[in-house]
């Protein structure tokens, strides 16, 4: 989906922002601490109901303010538009779609699928398995309609089993059956998605990283060839001692290798960032292929993160995917928008955003 309008009130240093972005490339420039990243953060909150910079939504509320709000108009695939909204007031968030309250961030995500490339992107390779599971499940969520409901069932059963383990309850079998059923479904979804993603990754990697060979491996979180419910039953004793469930898709990991070696051990930090961006681009290509809709990208401080060659390759891939992009930079001349469709440049200073004509 494309973001047609953005309204931000009292988010960090953005007191009142009204923006009509370009449908393709939006370049935000200005000095450090001007508010460029805050604009990207506001768009991210609109699409995911959480920040990529702060752990709590209340932390983005402008100092001294009691509330904050973000609203965005998105294009409908069938024509027309729809307003999304995320607000924070009286200590809690409020999410709206088309003026109606909604409970879950997943409903926002369906309308505004987005990805972030920023100084933390390399943590996809270096951080723990949770980061890579999030990457994988973003893709599955956006191509498999049944995934989210099954994942919620799995999480509920996992909480119940963990509680039973900690309290010494003997009521474990029903939760283990539910975990076995939903866990197997999650594993099938993930395996199928990775197989499909593998068809998009080589072209992206060739364009961004040249001749390096990237491969993905998947550890599903419990031994191959055994039903999860059986594994959980056998593990009751040790799991009870530890107070949590050690096996299942919540313990899965995605292995990312370059020329057969774990990526975090074999390439430079700059190449790690380029590889992380490539993985996100491959996801976007798969999403667009499946849905016929573009994905939105938020790219923070691109010139500082990648050298000229990798930067130009990344921008060319984003352009060819027909994405809508918001990218920040200190200086206007560091980004060359050749070949894009609609392009707008904005100067940001002290929380004020001005379109440059």
Under 8 Å between Cβ of 79 and 87: no
Instruction: Identify which has the larger pLDDT, 209 or 295.
Output: 295
Domain boundaries, the chain: 1-113+293-357
Q: How many CB atoms lie within 10 A of CB 225?
A: 5
Provide the CB-side half-sphere exposure for 131 (13 A, CA): 15
CA distance 328 to 40: 9
Region 12-23: what's the mean pLDDT? 96
- Band (pLDDT 50/70/90 cuts) for residue 331 is confident
As given in the structure block, the two tokens for residue 54 are 């702060």
**Dihedrals phi, psi of 31, to nearest 5 degrees:** -70, 170
Q: 26-40, pLDDT tens digit by residue?
A: 999 999 999 999 999
Residue 337 CB contacts under 8 Å (≥ 6 apart), including other chains? 25, 27, 315, 343
pLDDT for the residue 357: 81
Under 8 Å between Cβ of 269 and 277: no
Q: 238-282, pLDDT tens digit by residue?
A: 999 999 999 999 999 999 999 888 888 877 878 888 899 999 999
Under 8 Å between Cβ of 285 and 105: no
CA distance 26 to 343: 6
**Dihedrals phi, psi of 259, to nearest 5 degrees:** 50, 35
- Among 3.50.50.60, 1.10.1740.10, 3.40.50.300, 3.10.129.10, what is the CATH number of 1-113+293-357? 3.40.50.300
């Amino acid at each position: 989906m494309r973001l047609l309008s953005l309204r931000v009130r009292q988010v960090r240093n953005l007191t009142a922002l009204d923006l009509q972005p370009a449908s393709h490339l939006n370049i935000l420039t200005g000095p450090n601490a001007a508010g460029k990243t805050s604009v990207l953060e506001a768009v991210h909150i609109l699409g995911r109901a959480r920040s990529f910079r702060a752990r709590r939504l209340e932390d983005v509320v402008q100092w001294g303010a009691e509330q904050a709000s973000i609203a965005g108009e998105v294009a409908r695939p069938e024509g027309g538009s729809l307003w999304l909204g995320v607000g924070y007031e009286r200590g809690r968030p409020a999410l709206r779609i088309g003026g109606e309250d909604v409970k879950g961030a997943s409903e926002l995500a369906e309308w505004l699928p987005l990805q972030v490339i920023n100084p933390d992107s390399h943590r996809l390779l270096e951080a723990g398995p949770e980061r890579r599971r999030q990457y994988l499940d973003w893709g599955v969520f956006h191509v498999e309609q049944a995934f989210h409901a099954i994942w919620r069932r799995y999480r509920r059963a996992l909480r119940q089993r963990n509680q039973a383990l900690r309290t010494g309850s003997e009521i474990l079998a029903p939760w283990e059956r539910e975990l076995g059923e939903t866990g197997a479904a999650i594993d099938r979804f993930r395996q199928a998605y990775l197989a499909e993603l593998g068809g998009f990754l080589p072209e992206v990697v060739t364009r961004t990283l040249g001749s390096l060979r990237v491969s993905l491996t998947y550890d599903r979180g419990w031994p191959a060839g055994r039903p999860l419910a059986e594994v959980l039953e056998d593990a009751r004793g040790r799991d009870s001692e530890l107070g949590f469930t050690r096996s299942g898709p919540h313990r899965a990991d995605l292995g990312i290798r370059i020329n057969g070696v774990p990526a975090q051990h074999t390439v430079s930090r700059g190449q790690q960032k380029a590889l992380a961006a490539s993985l996100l681009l491959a996801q976007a290509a798969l999403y667009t292929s499946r849905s016929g809709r573009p994905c939105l990208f938020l790219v923070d401080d691109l010139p500082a993160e990648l050298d000229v060659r990798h930067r130009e390759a990344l921008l060319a891939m984003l352009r060819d995917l027909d994405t809508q992009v918001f990218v920040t930079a200190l200086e206007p001349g560091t980004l060359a928008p050749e070949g894009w469709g609609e392009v707008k440049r904005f100067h940001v200073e002290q929380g004020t955003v001005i379109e440059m004509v």
